[in-house]
A and B are shown apart, each in its own frame.
Chain A
Amino acid sequence: MIVCVAVVGHQNNPLYIQSFTEADDALKLHHIVHCSLDVVDERVNNPKKSGPLLNETFLGLLYPIENFKVYGYLTNTKVKFILVTTDLDVKDADVRNFFRRFHAAYVDAVSNPFHVPGKKITSRTFAERVSTIVKSFGLTSAV
């Protein structure tokens, strides 16, 4: 189950953070997302030879913490997407698929002429699309 998704700008400024649990642990999730930014920077600047290709957008599993897994994705414009999930058996293909759809929703939200680059994304359509993508995460693989 996805617990939290976040979009972080290229100066590590948060553009969108949304949690999907009923528990009131927003602070803890913000902290997890913040810590994962360091891991993203490290992955990009010191690529492991056995790791993902040097310039791939999908960064894979960043690190496990408590019972959460954190996945990262870095776009060409240095915007980072962070996904925090509690699922135990998450398939790589599912996460890639999720990030692809999330990226498409992000591009549409940023193309809004009333959106100011660098400020938080306040579009309701974006929030709805994200919750649709989150709800269908992992369900398609059951076929």
Chain B
Amino acid sequence: MVREVSESCLDSLLTEVVSCYCNRFYPNKHDLAARRIEAIGYQVGHQLSERYTMERPRFNDHLEAIKFICKDFWLELFKKHVDNLRTNHRGTFVLQDNKFCWLARMSIDPLADSGKSPEDITSPTAGNKATHAMKMHLYFPCGILRGFLTNLGILCAVSADILTLPTCAFTIRIKA
């Protein structure tokens, strides 16, 4: 019996989780909120790794595990492959997704939550606030990746950057 989940419900849930943790539970303590969101993602990734690696034989090395993430895992979660994978062959991998599903419907409104005049749009703070708000949404997928890899025995640190909406890049640093 295959059960299905509504994508828009999941999108709304994730948006609300980030909003709740940032504004209600830990207002002004964004680091703490980020860590909690990442921990939620960690547990989800942990459990997903059991399910999605069920059918296949064991991985030979880290590169195979990362390639599995780029193709099969991303396909299961977001219905597409990772668009670009780069590595320095020394334990750092960068996964780039050109249309990341959970950022795809976000936009930046430079005049939001301020009565500033249009000249101030070019000020660095307005852009920074928006980018900062979007970065909070990336902690959850970072946690998923970290949980997934840790359950396979690969300890790592995962961080994310937004290049231009909706392209984003996840950097995985494997601890030797």
Contact = CB atoms under 8 A, between A and B. Distances in A.
A binds B: yes
A77 interface: yes
Nearest to A53: B57
B153 A78 contact: yes
Nearest to B56: A76
Contacts of A104: 54
Contacts of A77: 49-50, 53, 151-153
Nearest to A52: B57
Chain B interface size, as a band, is: 10 to 19
A55 interface: yes
Interface string A14-54: 00000000000000000000000000000000000000011
B104 to A, nearest CB: 27
Interface in A41-90: 53-57, 74-79
Is chain B's interface secondary structure helix, strand, loop, or mixed overall? Answer: loop
A106 B49 CA distance: 13
Interface string B32-58: 000000000001001101110110111
Contacts of B74: none
- Which one of A10, A57, A104 has the greatest number of beta carbons of chain B within 10 Å? A57
Contacts of B58: 55-57, 74, 76
Nearest to A74: B58
Q: Which of A75, A77, A78, A117: most chain B CB closer than 10 A?
A: A77
B57 A75 contact: no
B65 to A, nearest CB: 9
A141 to B, nearest CB: 22
Interface of B: 43, 46-47, 49-51, 53-54, 56-60, 151-153
Interface of A: 10, 53-57, 74-79, 103-104, 106-107, 110-111, 113, 117
